[in-house]
Homo-oligomer: A and B are copies of this chain.
């Protein structure tokens, strides 16, 4: 099974980019979109990210793939409101950055035709003005089916992932949250802590360069959006934060022992980063 009509609820960076990517890949495909913010609807319509409609019910009508691209702490409420409007044969997915808390709630509403997803793409900017049809090209897209999920739902999300130019990565909801604590949530907190430490030092702003700019880039993201995501993955983030702090303490100790010890302690991490950069084709 694949999709023949798509509804996107939430036309921010992710929802808007999915719409634009689908329209680019399949020019004839009906892609309808809704956002509760009238200004976001205007921008999305002007940029042609989707056929923008003024109500969720009009948007969902006739769709056989429904994408919820809204903040994680709003998923449960919006899913509840949408239950009766969603066509019974439609596959439903979301794009939330956490999964362990989200998946059971969504399954309770939509049953076995729901399958969780998380595009591992994004920028520090947000909203439909930042949306781009190539946002997902070459990136990974986590898919988190459970024992309950139908193969049709998983297959449909796979088709979406491929249509937008991404690679599917299958992982359980719990494992997903454990991993993104390391790859996304702790890097975000660390980036904020770097900006906070520098903010407290008069004159430091004059001596920042490209390293600081890159290391703090994610700290430019929306505090509210990130706080919701981190709060929904609290336990895994606390554990990953402890591992990070152990690594940092070990580097601190190596620094006290001198140049040679420090360089030897840095090397495996640098090698890991290099391997990943080569694999992903980062410059």
Which A residues have a C-beta under 8 Å from some C-beta of B? 73, 120-123, 139-140, 142, 169, 171, 175-176, 178-180, 182-184, 186-201, 203-221, 223-224, 226-228, 230-231, 234, 237-238, 240-241, 243-245, 247-248, 251-252, 255-256, 258-260, 262-263, 266-270, 272-274, 276-277, 279-280, 282
Partner of A269 from the list B199, B228, B277 (CB cut-off 8 Å) is B199
Partner of A247 from the list B120, B183, B197, B269 (CB cut-off 8 Å) is B197
User: Assuming A230-B262, A269-B219, A273-B216, is B195 touching A183 (CB within 8 A)?
Assistant: no
User: Assuming A186-B194, A269-B199, is B215 touching A218 (CB within 8 A)?
Assistant: yes
Instruction: Decide: B194 and A212 in contact? CB cutoff 8 A.
Output: no
Q: How many copies of this chain sit in the oligomeric assembly?
A: 2
* Complex interface: chain B residues within 8 A of A263 (CB): 223-224, 226-227
Instruction: Decide: A192 and B230 in contact? CB cutoff 8 A.
Output: no
User: Assuming A212-B183, A267-B223, is B237 touching A241 (CB within 8 A)?
Assistant: no
Partner of A270 from the list B123, B195, B259 (CB cut-off 8 Å) is B195
Q: Which residue of B lies closest to A202 (CB)?
A: B179
Q: Which residue of B lies closest to A226 (CB)?
A: B266
* Complex interface: chain B residues within 8 A of A224 (CB): 263
A210 to B283, CA, bound (A): 12
Q: Which residue of B lies closest to A188 (CB)?
A: B211
Q: Beyond A190-B190, A219-B266, list 4 extra A-B contacts (CB 8 Å).
A: A120-B207, A171-B207, A183-B211, A227-B266
Q: Which residue of B lies closest to A125 (CB)?
A: B283
A73 to B244, CA, bound (A): 29
User: Assuming A203-B179, A269-B199, is B215 touching A248 (CB within 8 A)?
Assistant: no
Instruction: Decide: B213 and A282 in contact? CB cutoff 8 A.
Output: yes
